[in-house]
């Protein structure tokens, strides 16, 4: 990997750093939010679907007691960057990066083999307009290779009974996510609506599902910024900017 094409960023969490492609897709605050919502036990294995440069996997290593984290990334160049970020942070004993299609994970990892699956997926359906971005960015934004249906099916297949699935997505597709998750025995259990400000409608949500669980959904909200542009106390706690 040519470091001249990357920049080094501080994750502002326990000294963790990450390299990102200068001209490629870079992670957003959505990835950080998702990592902060995941809960697990010390012997759990977490699988990060579409791990990109490894940001969620790396944050989860610091924020959860998981025994093992496995990042799945289709794009070879991006997967290599994720592997280098794991080494950069000396996390090679905790995080494995696999360069493969999400569709192959049931065969590679085994069915009903893990406790947690997390995903910050492409937000736009493959039919949602022109893709003018570079290929790397387009694949990160549009469901070009693995659509929502297959993503949820594969998550359900590799999760153990009672395993949990976490996803962050846009509110425009919330009904679709909930319906399809339920179709694959991933029962929605906790829905958090993300508001950029009080004065603006929620534009993003985080959904936690539990495999083969009885129905019962808790609804929550997170407001990220105050009207003056400062981060709310609740968001600051999530981002570890306050004690």
Domains of the chain with CATH codes: 3-238 (3.40.50.150)
Q: Is the pLDDT of residue 242 over 60?
A: no
CA distances from 129 to 104, 141, 142, 178 (A): 28, 12, 10, 23
- How do 68-73 and 45-49 pair as beta strands? parallel
CB 94 within 8 A of CB 70: no
Return the pLDDT at 219. Answer: 97
- Continuous segment of H or E residues that includes residue 195: strand 186-195
Q: What is the pLDDT of residues 60-96, one digit of tens each?
A: 999 999 999 999 999 999 999 999 999 999 999 999 9
Average pLDDT over residues 188-201: 96
């Amino acid at each position: 990997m040519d470091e001249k094409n990357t920049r080094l960023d501080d994750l502002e969490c326990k000294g963790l750093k990450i390299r990102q492609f200068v001209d490629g897709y870079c992670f957003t605050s959505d990835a950080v939010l998702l990592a902060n919502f995941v809960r697990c036990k010390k012997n759990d294995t977490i699988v990060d679907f579409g791990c990109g440069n490894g940001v969620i996997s790396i944050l989860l290593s610091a924020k959860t007691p998981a025994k093992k984290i496995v990042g799945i990334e289709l794009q070879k160049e991006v997967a290599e960057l994720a592997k280098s970020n794991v080494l950069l942070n000396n996390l090679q004993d905790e995080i494995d990066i696999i360069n493969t299609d999400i569709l192959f994970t049931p065969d590679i990892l085994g069915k009903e083999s893990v406790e947690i699956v997390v995903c910050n997926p492409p937000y736009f359906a493959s039919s949602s307009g022109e893709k003018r971005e570079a290929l790397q960015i387009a694949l990160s934004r549009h469901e070009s290779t693995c659509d929502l249906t297959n993503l949820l099916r594969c998550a359900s297949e590799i999760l153990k009974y009672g395993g949990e699935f976490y996803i962050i997505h846009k509110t425009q597709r919330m009904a679709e996510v909930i319906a399809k998750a339920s179709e694959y025995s991933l029962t929605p259990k906790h829905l958090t609506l993300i508001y950029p400000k009080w004065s603006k409608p929620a534009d993003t949500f985080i959904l936690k599902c539990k495999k083969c669980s009885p129905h019962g959904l808790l609804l929550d909200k997170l407001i990220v910024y105050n009207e003056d542009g400062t981060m709310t106390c609740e968001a600051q706690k999530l981002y570890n900017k306050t004690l």
